[in-house]
Amino acid sequence: MTTKMRSEIAEQPAALRATLSALLPRVGEVEALAGRTRHLVFIARGTSDNAAVYGRYLVEAYAGRMAGLAAPSIATTYKRRIDMSGVLAVGLSQSGRTEEIVETLAWAKDCGASTVAITNGGEESPLARTADLALCTLAGVEEAVPATKTYTTALAALAVLALGLGAEVKADDLARVPDAVEELIADPGDLDAVVEGLAGVQGVVVSGRGMAFSTALETALKLKEACYLHAMGLSYADLLHGPIAVVDQDTPALLVAAGEGPTLPGTVALARRVTGAGAAAYAVGGGPELAGAATAALNGPALPEWVAPMGLIVPGQLLTEALARRLGYDPDAPRGLNKVTQTE
Ligand code: AGP
């Protein structure tokens, strides 16, 4: 049986090509906001919040500005006013219709921030209409509840945003992303072994650092919602501060890293520590070095670290879809979840 989730995973190369072709010519519109931007605040929930983590790391690592994630309750529940002059507030919502996110972006504008929307909901969505500038992704309709193509295209929009803010990266790297995603879909590595390794475990720790942190969070969210697995996504730096205590024979680790970059050696060391403790460590990306230290390995994209998260999530999506079916669940319609969630 082909699930909607599996079809939508396969649509990502085309969705990324369409989104990048539409948004790359618009870098200048972001540049127009860059001069008055000292800090960034991302406003999002769920998968969009995980995309925002990538945006935060991109902006801080390459575009020379501090960036953080907003707590929407400050706007919507506590109703506080904060001076946001010099702030670029970026609202991310796949649907563009999550009221809490629209309200928080409007609040940021009212507090003096410049505003950008990143949404797959189109120019007429409430979020896009609220923002000074809308960067609309072109993922097409996404029906499966677990977000896939709306996530990777949001990452592409964030990469365009970072370019507009003067990120010191090679813009040409983006052109390589759709093909790299296509290759991963065709050959995700040892998917069957990892599916069997996670079938029946108590829980799983999903860890990565830096650019890969967003992938760890998003992989854990996918496994929670579609496989009902207690998946804990965290940075490996935080993992070492206590949570690593839960890793044992019944609680393996999925370790995520780009094939190059400063967080790879730490991830390899972590894989050795996990297997040394008698637990399984499954690699997601990280090239031969991480695969060599792991129990089994899913392939990562052959991409530079700054764009790697657009590919690194793909094996986690495929794993989630296959594991859900292996456990007898329908990945398209997890129990109790809707495509658009309203908080109150
Ligand atoms: C994704 O797998 C989740 N089901 C969830 O995060 C979902 O993407 C989110 O609730 C959608 O909200 P949004 O339209 O505001 O992004």
ipTM of the complex as predicted: 0.95
Whether residue 98 has its Cβ less than 6 Å from ligand 1: yes
State the Cα–Cα distance between residues 282 and 262, nearest whole angstrom: 20
For 176, the token pair is 């390589």
Question: What pLDDT digit, counting tens, does each position of 151-209 carry?
Answer: 999 999 999 999 999 999 999 999 999 999 999 999 999 999 999 999 989 899 999 99
pLDDT at 242: 80
Whether residue 219 has its Cβ less than 6 Å from ligand 1: no
Whether residue 135 has its Cβ less than 6 Å from ligand 1: no
State the Cα–Cα distance between residues 290 and 267, nearest whole angstrom: 7
Question: Ligand 1 centre and the CA of 232: distance in Å?
Answer: 18
pLDDT score of 269 more than 70:
yes
H or E stretch at 104: helix 99-110
Whether residue 114 has its Cβ less than 6 Å from ligand 1: no
- Cα-only R_g, the chain: 19
Give the global pTM: 0.96
Atom of ligand 1 nearest to the CA of 120: 14
Question: Ligand 1 centre and the CA of 102: distance in Å?
Answer: 14
Question: For the purposes of burial, counting CB atoms within 10 Å of the CB of 342, is it exposed (0-12), middle (13-18) or buried (19 or more)?
Answer: exposed
Contacting residues for 12 by C-beta, under 8 A, at least 6 apart: 148, 149, 152, 153, 178, 181, 185, 314
Whether residue 93 has its Cβ less than 6 Å from ligand 1: yes
Band the pLDDT of 129: cuts 50, 70, 90: very high
Whether residue 120 has its Cβ less than 6 Å from ligand 1: no
pLDDT score of 337 more than 80:
no
pLDDT at 200: 87
As a whole-number percent, the residues of the chain with pLDDT over 70 amount to 98
State the Cα–Cα distance between residues 72 and 45, nearest whole angstrom: 9
